[in-house]
Amino acid sequence: MTDQGLQFPKFYVTAPSPCPYIDGQIERKVFTELNGPDAASLNEALGKVGFRRSQSVVYRPACEACSACISVRVRALEHTLSKSQRRILKLNSDIKIEVKPATVTEEQFNLLSEYLNDRHKDGSMASMTIDEYADMVETSPVSTSIIEYRRVLDQKLMAVGLTDELSDGLSMVYSFFDIHEQNRSLGTYIILNHIERAKIANQPYVYLGYWVSGSQKMNYKRRFKPLERLGQHGWYDIETDDLVK
């Protein structure tokens, strides 16, 4: 392309590695770097065709023998609360929410470390250092924010969300929470809060990343409706696809 438009990026493919979601499968990813004045526009364009951001890189699965990873997004303006979601909001009515610049704190990192050791101790992030966490949060070349969720009573940090702000909604890059507060369903609460934020801003979508049919780790994403999946011809309601019912 010319200098007057987006420069076409160079794409690379990762080496094969074990899939974190499906036993016995091999994972590969295609990725490119976000840099220069077109970083935000490139992130937007690639995000709409299934790429996800991590630091200054955007990627999506490129597995040779599997296509189970499916990009999903909630149509925020049409979302209505289920009975269980209303209950979750009530359980967390004592939480104060604050949107902050994408800057790390030791308090956030301690919460993340405990979360990773409990939920993803065998994952690639389990041994993350505070410097690596800072790279994840602070090196974004696009509009990004940290959302802190604190209990009003004692200001205890309960959950954190790292979120990209797109022209058509919010993209949830990563979130984590206090694993000792299981009755609060904080993971669901964070998504509900993002949906509400998108509604207030009159933005149509909240991007949830990838959903994998049959993966217990991913089942929670099906609870937010209406939910769209990305297919070969664009986005459409996930409930219309017999393969994922």
Beta strands in the chain (DSSP E): 12-13, 17-18, 26-27, 29-33, 52-54, 57-61, 69-75, 95-101, 144-151, 157-166, 169-177, 205-212, 227-231, 234-237
Q: Would you call 122 helix, strand, or coil by DSSP?
A: coil
Q: Lowest mean pLDDT: which of 28-37, 69-78, 86-95, 211-220?
A: 211-220
126 confidence band (pLDDT: 50, 70, 90): low
85 confidence band (pLDDT: 50, 70, 90): very high
Cross-strand pairs, 100: 146
Q: Would you identify the CATH topology of the domain 72-244?
A: Aminopeptidase (3.40.630)
pLDDT in tens, 25-57: 889 999 999 888 888 889 888 988 999 998 888
Q: Give the pLDDT score at 241.
A: 52
| Domain boundaries, given as residue ranges, for the chain | 12-70, 72-244
Q: What is the pTM of this model?
A: 0.88
Give percent of the chain with pLDDT exceeding 90: 61
